[in-house]
Each structure stands twice: as C-alpha cells, then as structure tokens.
C-alpha cells in the first residue's frame, strides 16, 4: 500500500483509492481466517442460471452470504435447502463489487441426524402433496418378466443374493446397471440408471427390462441418504417400467420406498416378489392339465352318448332324400319339353305383337299426335291469355271498390299471387308441350327404325311393279314392269326374264320385311 503525499496543509491522514482499500480488506480477511468451519441455518437458497448456488448462513443474530461454485455444487452429497441446519467448510473472502464479505463453501453437510430427519420429513410432505404416494398411481408388477433390470453396486452381497434367488425360483435374464449406493455420486447415478432403463427401446439390441429392482444393503441414515434425494424419488415415480424398491433392511425406510410400485423389505425379498417359483408353476400346470383332460374326457363321453341317443330317433339319410330325388328326376324329364313349349309360346306372342307394327300405322299415329300437339299448343296460349285477362279484370273490379289508403298491402299480395299463377301456368304449358314433343320424336324414331328403308340398309331388297310392291311370285308373273330396289338405287328387270326360283323361307330369328 502506497502513501500519497498530503497536498492539504494541516492534514496528515493517508489517502487511498477504493481498489486499494478493497484489496487490503480482502488480504486481511483471507489471511486472518483462511479455511473455516461454520455451523448455521440455511436462509435464502438460489441456483443461478450459471449453475452456481447462492445462499445465506444465519443464526439468531447475524447473516453470512455464501456461494458454492458450479463444479463443487455438483459433487455435494446433500444439496442445501432453506431451513436446513448445516455445517459448512470453506474459506472467507470478499466481493469488492458489492463491498461485502462472503464464504466460498467447499463442503456442506447436515448438522446431525436431527437435521437430516427434518429435511427428509419436509421432502416427504412435498412429494405427498403432489400425489406421488397415491396407491392408484402405482403400477402392477408383471407376473413373469422376461428381463429384469437391477440398479445396485456390482460388488457386494446384494447382487449375489438377487441372482441366486432368481436362479432358484425362476431363471430370468438380468441387466445390471452398476451405481454407487452411497456417497456423493449415489443420487445422480441411481437417477440416471432409472431414466436409462426407461429410455431403452423394447426389442432393441439391448432389450428394455420389464421390471426394475433398486437394491442396497442396510446402513445408517447417512449411508442410505442418496435414496432420500428428491431426484431419485421423482425418477422412480416417473418410471414407466414397474419398480421394486429394496433399500436397506426391513426396518430401514427411504423416500424411494414411498414412490416405488412395490417395497421389498430386503433385496432377497425383491427377487421373490419379481418371479414366481418355477417348480410350483410346473406342478400347478400339470394339475390343471390333468383336470382339464379329465373334464374334456367326461364332456366328450356325455356328448357322444347324447349324439347316439339323438341319432337313433332320426331316419336314415337315404330316406330323407328319396322324395327330393324323385321330384328332381320328374322335373328334369319335363325340363326340355317345357323349354321348347315356352320358347314357342314366346315366339308366337312376339309375332302377334310385331304384326300390327307397320310404318304406315306409325306414320298416321305420329301425324295425328303432331296435329293434336299443335292444336293444343295454340289453344294453350289463347287460354292462358283469356285466363290472365279474366283474372286482371276481376282484380280491377275488386280494386275499384276499395280505397288505396286501406288496402295497399292486400293489393300487393293479390298482384303477387296473380303473377305467380301466370308463371306457373306458363311453366306447366311449356312442360306439357315439351313432353308431347319428346313423345312425338320417340315415335318418329320408332317409325324410322321399322320403315323399309332401314330394312334395305341391312341387305334386303324390294320388288316393285310401278308403285305397287310385289309380295309373291304370282303377282310377279302378272307384272309388266319389274324393278328391284336396293339401299342405293332401283334397277329395272326385263318383263320376259325367266322367273326366279322359289325363295327359301327365312330362318328363325332373321328380320322380315314390313309393308310400307
């Protein structure tokens, strides 16, 4: 520390900078106290985003600001909580930025068993309020898991007891996740193991367990404290895989026991809960198989006797089908004759129906309907006009006797009704005319189809004697001027030509020639 020359007369106090004073205080505190051990109660506890932990150590008369650096906080066996009585080990230093002194904590632990129990009770009440202890949220243990995951230390009697018991009762595949079961690394390793088993893929290269056992032998409350950490309890509660807690002896109780699906008093008991006894299962299966076989034999015998009793009361199979076979033979004998008779009747009926269908008849009917359609169309327009005029005259007469001031609304309604009636009548007339026109066109198409011109298109010919159609050889011999009409032209035939041979009758199903 440098002394500055006093530039004021009559004053001899040395003058320092702020940094000089801060540095002098820091060296004095760190040199005087160095590494200290302080007992007190945790006040405000805050974890910064950087990972450093800021807290206050206090008693009934003073408060000491403290800090735990991020790297050291991750190694602590017990995390500080507000209201916990602790013993902190570290060194005193200053923070010039805020002109205060503080303690950098390197190690912290509860001040005795009473403090641990108080903290455990506080955590237990917190998790209980969240509903993690409720029986309805606990999962059922699988009756016979294929793979069992064990979270414990790979050394020691615990894993040997579990494997030995499983081998005696019912051998199963076991995945061991080695963890520290006490000390600073216990809680984070157990938490990571539970979460790791749940993160495995079912049926993968390393299959996911069907059941998890978290096991440890007995010990003091300090030795078992890792299983009282909140992170372990929450990981066990969030596990999708059923979990058995087997920590300590029967009288030891940790926080994981309350949130696990089943609590076993010892690791050996956990193995007994996990699997049934194979020999007992085999004996039970044999017993059930024998009973089932006996019951099946009795049931089959009873049904066989019942079938025999019923069969004696039934007629023989041949007798049941004799009448039906006879009816089938009769029907088969009549089938050919019935088909021929039915075909002949249908052909006769068709010929009777087709005989009146001649082009001249269709032409006359079409002309008559066309005339009727035009006549009714003309009458419809005149009738609509007359009906409209009568309605308008009637309306005018009614409206003339009324005063406009009182009946304007009724007048408007009557006008709307009249307009709607006129539109409806017009639409009905047009629809009727359209229907008649469609019917007329359909019949005209039938006329064209049945006319002799369509027959000529199919390869037939018509023999004419002038304007008369020759229908037989007798008329052809008497004709003076014969012409044969094909589909494209009429060709004359000599009057002295040799008579043609008698044409063969057309085969059934060939088209015949209609009269014009």
Concatenating the DSSP letter of every residue in 464-502 gives EETTEE--SHHHHHH-SSEEEE-SS-EEEE-TTPPPPPP
- Cα 13 to chain centroid distance, Å, stands at 86
| Three-class SS state of 458 | coil
Distance (Å, whole) CA 276 – CA 269: 12
- Cα 389 to chain centroid distance, Å, stands at 69
Beta-ladder partners of 110: 86
Q: Are 60 and 169 in contact (CB under 8 A)?
A: no
The 8-class DSSP code of residue 313 comes to: H
pLDDT at 178: 95
- Cα 335 to chain centroid distance, Å, stands at 59
Q: Which residues contact 222 (CB under 8 A, 6 or more apart)?
A: 116
The CATH topology of domain 148-276 is Rossmann fold (3.40.50)
Q: Are 271 and 165 in contact (CB under 8 A)?
A: yes
Task: Count other C-beta atoms under 10 Å from residue 493's C-beta.
Answer: 15
Q: Mind listing the pLDDT tens digit of every residue in the chain (516 residues)?
A: 444 454 555 567 788 898 888 888 888 888 888 788 888 888 888 999 888 999 999 887 888 999 999 888 888 877 888 878 888 899 998 888 888 889 999 988 877 656 677 778 888 888 989 999 999 999 999 999 999 999 999 988 899 999 999 999 999 999 999 999 988 789 999 999 999 999 998 888 888 999 999 999 888 777 888 898 899 999 999 999 999 999 988 777 889 999 999 999 999 999 999 999 988 888 888 889 989 999 999 999 999 999 988 888 777 777 778 788 888 888 888 888 888 888 888 888 887 877 766 677 778 888 888 888 888 888 887 888 888 888 888 887 776 666 555 567 777 788 888 888 888 888 888 888 999 988 888 888 887 777 777 777 777 888 888 878 887 888 788 788 888 888 788 888 864 444 444 444 444 443 443 343
CATH 2.60.40.10 fits 18-111, yes or no: no
Q: Are 172 and 148 in contact (CB under 8 A)?
A: yes
Task: Count other C-beta atoms under 10 Å from residue 137's C-beta.
Answer: 11
Q: Are 85 and 115 in contact (CB under 8 A)?
A: yes
Scan for tokens 């702020």, then name that residue: 18
Q: Are 259 and 127 in contact (CB under 8 A)?
A: yes
**Which of 316, 274, 88 minimizes the C-alpha distance to 165?**
274
Distance (Å, whole) CA 36 – CA 16: 30
| Three-class SS state of 244 | strand
pLDDT at 495: 45
- φ, ψ for residue 4 (rounded to 5)? -90, 150
The 8-class DSSP code of residue 451 comes to: S
Distance (Å, whole) CA 45 – CA 43: 6
Helices (H) and strands (E) in the chain, counts: 14, 14
Distance (Å, whole) CA 57 – CA 92: 13
- Cα 323 to chain centroid distance, Å, stands at 58
> Domain segments of the chain: what residues?
18-111, 148-276, 280-314, 319-352, 359-450, 458-493
Distance (Å, whole) CA 176 – CA 213: 10
Class of residue 440 by CB neighbours under 10 A (exposed 0-12, middle 13-18, buried 19+): middle
pLDDT at 162: 93
Q: How many CA atoms lie within 13 A of 378 on its CB side?
A: 5
| Three-class SS state of 167 | helix
The 8-class DSSP code of residue 37 comes to: E
């Amino acid at each position: 520390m440098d002394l500055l020359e006093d530039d004021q007369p009559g004053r001899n106090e040395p003058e320092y900078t702020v940094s000089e004073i801060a540095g002098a205080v820091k060296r004095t505190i760190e040199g005087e106290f160095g590494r200290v051990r302080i007992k007190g109660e945790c006040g405000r506890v805050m974890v910064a985003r950087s990972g450093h932990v800021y807290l206050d150590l206090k008693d009934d008369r003073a408060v000491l600001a403290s800090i735990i650096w991020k790297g050291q906080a991750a190694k602590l066996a017990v995390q500080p909580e507000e209201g916990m009585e602790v013993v902190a080990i570290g060194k005193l230093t200053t923070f010039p930025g805020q002109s205060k002194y503080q303690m950098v904590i390197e190690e912290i632990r509860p001040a005795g068993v009473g403090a641990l129990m108080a903290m455990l009770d506080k955590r237990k009440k917190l998790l209980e309020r969240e509903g993690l202890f409720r029986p309805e949220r606990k999962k059922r243990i699988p009756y016979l898991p294929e793979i069992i995951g064990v979270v414990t230390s790979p050394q020691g009697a615990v894993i040997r007891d579990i494997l030995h018991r499983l081998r005696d009762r019912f051998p199963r595949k076991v995945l061991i996740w080695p963890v520290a079961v006490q000390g600073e690394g216990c809680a984070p390793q157990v938490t990571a193991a539970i979460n790791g088993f749940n993160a495995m893929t079912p049926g993968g290269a390393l299959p996911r367990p069907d059941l998890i056992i978290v096991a440890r032998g007995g010990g003091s409350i300090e030795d078992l404290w890792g299983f009282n950490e909140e992170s372990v309890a929450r990981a066990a509660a969030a596990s999708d895989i059923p979990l058995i807690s087997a920590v300590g002896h029967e009288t030891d109780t940790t926080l994981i026991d309350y949130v696990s699906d089943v609590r076993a008093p010892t690791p050996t008991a956990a193995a007994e809960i996990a699997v049934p006894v194979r020999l007992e299962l085999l004996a039970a299966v044999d017993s059930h198989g024998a009973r089932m076989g006996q019951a099946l034999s009795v049931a089959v015998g009873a049904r066989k006797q019942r079938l025999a009793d019923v069969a004696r009361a039934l007629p023989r199979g041949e007798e049941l089908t004799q009448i039906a076979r006879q009816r089938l033979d009769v029907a088969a004998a009549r089938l050919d004759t019935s088909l021929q008779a039915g075909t002949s009747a249908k052909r006769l009926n068709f010929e009777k129906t087709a005989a009146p269908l001649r082009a001249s008849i269709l032409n006359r009917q079409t002309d008559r309907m066309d005339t009727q359609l035009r006549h009714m169309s003309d009458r419809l327009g005149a009738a609509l006009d007359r009906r409209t005029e009568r309605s308008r005259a009637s309306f005018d007469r009614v409206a003339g006797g009324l005063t406009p001031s009182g009946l304007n609304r009724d007048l408007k309604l009557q006008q709307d009704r009249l307009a709607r009636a006129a539109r409806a009548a017009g639409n009905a007339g047009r629809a009727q005319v359209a229907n008649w026109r469609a019917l007329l066109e359909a019949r005209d198409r039938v006329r064209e189809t049945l006319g002799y011109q369509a027959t000529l298109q199919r390869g037939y010919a018509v023999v004419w004697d002038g304007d008369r159609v020759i229908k037989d050889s007798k008329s052809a011999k008497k004709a003076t001027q014969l012409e044969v009409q094909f589909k494209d032209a009429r060709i004359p035939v000599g009057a002295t030509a040799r008579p043609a041979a008698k044409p063969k009758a057309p085969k059934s199903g060939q088209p015949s020639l209609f009269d014009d």
